[in-house]
């Protein structure tokens, strides 16, 4: 057992973990979407709620990130914007994740 090699591996793993954590935080920040004068998070929960409510009616009410009620009158457009923002953020995260995965191999 080469303890220096193990220490090196441990340091590398730590660095990669921090970098991944930061990339995820960046993705979370990037998921914020301004729509109809309010702020939303383009996360799976919001996307699922909007999709479910849209099945029932094209107009509905939803809470923004500060729990303010907002009327959504064009559900199709709102859902498309949420998905676009969500995928933009996760695509960037995926690219970083791949870089770090390769670095760790």
Partner 1 sequence: MMTKGILLFCFDTEHTRYHKILERCVHLIKKNLKLPVTVVTNFSTFKSIEPLGFVNYKFIEPELGNTKLGKPWNNVDRHLAYELSPYDITLVMDIDYFCFSDNLAQLFDTDYDFLVPDQAYDLSGRNSFDHRRFSIIPMVWATVLLFKKSPRVERIFQMVKYVKQWYPHFAELYRIKVKNLRNDYVFAIALQQVNGFVGYQTFPFALSTLPPDCEIVQFTDKGLAWKHQDKINFIENHDVHVLNKEIADV
**Is residue 17 involved in binding partner 1 (CB under 8 A)?**
yes
Which C-beta is closer to partner 1: that of 29 or that of 57? 29
Residues 1, 2, 3, 37: which binds partner 1 (CB under 8 A)?
37
Residue 89: how many CB atoms within 10 A of its CB? 21
Q: Give the number of C-alpha atoms closer than 13 A to the C-alpha of residue 99, restricted to the C-beta side.
A: 11
| Neighbour tally for 56: CB within 10 Å | 9
From 9, 13, 22, 91, residue interacting with partner 1 (rule: CB under 8 A) = 22
Tokens of 67: 């729990």
The answer to whether residue 65 forms part of the interface with partner 1 (CB under 8 A) is yes
We find the least distance from the C-beta atom of residue 70 to partner 1, in angstroms, to be 9
Strand partners for 60 = 72
Out of 60, 92, 97, 100, name the contact with partner 1 by CB under 8 A: 92
């Amino acid at each position: 057992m080469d303890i220096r090699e193990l220490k090196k591996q441990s340091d590398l793993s730590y660095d990669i973990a921090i970098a991944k954590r930061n990339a995820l935080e960046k993705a979370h920040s990037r998921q914020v979407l301004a729509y109809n004068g309010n702020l939303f998070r383009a996360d799976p929960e919001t996307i699922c709620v909007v999709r479910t409510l849209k099945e029932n009616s094209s107009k509905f009410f939803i809470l923004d990130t500060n729990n303010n009620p907002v009327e959504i009158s064009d559900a199709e457009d709102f859902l498309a914007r949420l998905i676009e923002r969500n995928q933009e953020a996760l695509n960037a995260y995926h690219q970083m994740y791949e870089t770090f995965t390769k670095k760790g191999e």
